[in-house]
């Protein structure tokens, strides 16, 4: 499969440069996609029954123990939304966070695909190492999004029900006073 033959040093340097370009360009490109394009209920992003609202990831991957230690790529891009921490717990921001988590997950899926191009200038064994790197480097943030998104959606549903209940109580109280 190898098509380009370089020295070992040139190959290592090319691998590093290409990975940096891939990460930065895919991150930048996906940060420019309008967030309303992403649908959390679409096939790709919806929570599966076996995920048990994200608890599968806590049980088998212990997400709570490491998720706060992961760096965020959002800091590299101007006006990028930070999904690592929810700073504002308003319903509008939680809706935005859910969409942004879909964007983040999509970005990391895309970053796996270019790993297969490394076979063009690497040996087969190194090519598979590059694919494994692409997978390992991106599956962690994907797991984190798939763990957090159902939890945030549950919080949003709770807040929306509470607001609806509060509004109904206010209307009911107002009607009682008007009588």
Q: How many domains does the chain have?
A: 1
Residue 96 C-beta-side C-alpha neighbours within 13 Å: 14
d(CA 140, CA 108): 9
60 is a domain residue: yes
CB 74 within 8 A of CB 145: no
1 is a domain residue: no
d(CA 7, CA 5): 7
Domain, as residue range, for 173: 8-178
Q: Per-residue pLDDT for the chain (179 aa), expressed as one digit of tens each? A: 788 898 999 999 999 999 999 999 999 999 999 999 999 999 999 999 999 999 999 999 999 998 888 877 777 767 777 776 787 889 999 999 999 999 999 999 999 999 999 999 999 999 999 999 999 999 999 999 999 999 999 999 999 888 776 665 544 434 433 33
41 is a domain residue: yes
Nearest-Å Rg of the Cα atoms of the chain is 22
What pTM was estimated for this model as a whole? 0.85
132 is a domain residue: yes
């Amino acid at each position: 499969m190898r098509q380009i033959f370089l020295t070992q040093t040139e190959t290592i340097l090319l691998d590093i440069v290409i990975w940096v370009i891939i990460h930065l360009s895919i991150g930048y490109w996906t940060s420019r996609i309008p967030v309303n394009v992403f649908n959390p209920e679409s096939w790709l992003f919806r929570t599966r029954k076996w995920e048990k609202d994200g608890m599968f990831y806590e049980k088998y991957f212990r997400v709570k123990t490491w998720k706060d230690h992961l760096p965020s790529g959002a800091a590299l891009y101007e006006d990028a939304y930070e999904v690592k921490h929810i700073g504002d717990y308003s319903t509008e921001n939680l809706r935005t966070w859910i969409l942004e988590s879909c964007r983040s997950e999509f970005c990391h899926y895309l970053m796996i695909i270019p790993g297969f191009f490394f076979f063009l200038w690497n040996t087969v064994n190194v090519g598979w190492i590059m694919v494994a790197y692409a997978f390992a480097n991106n599956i962690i943030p994907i797991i984190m999004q798939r763990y957090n998104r159902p939890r945030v959606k549950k919080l949003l549903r709770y807040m929306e029900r509470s607001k609806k209940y509060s509004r109904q109580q206010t209307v009911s109280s107002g009607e009682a006073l008007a009588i």
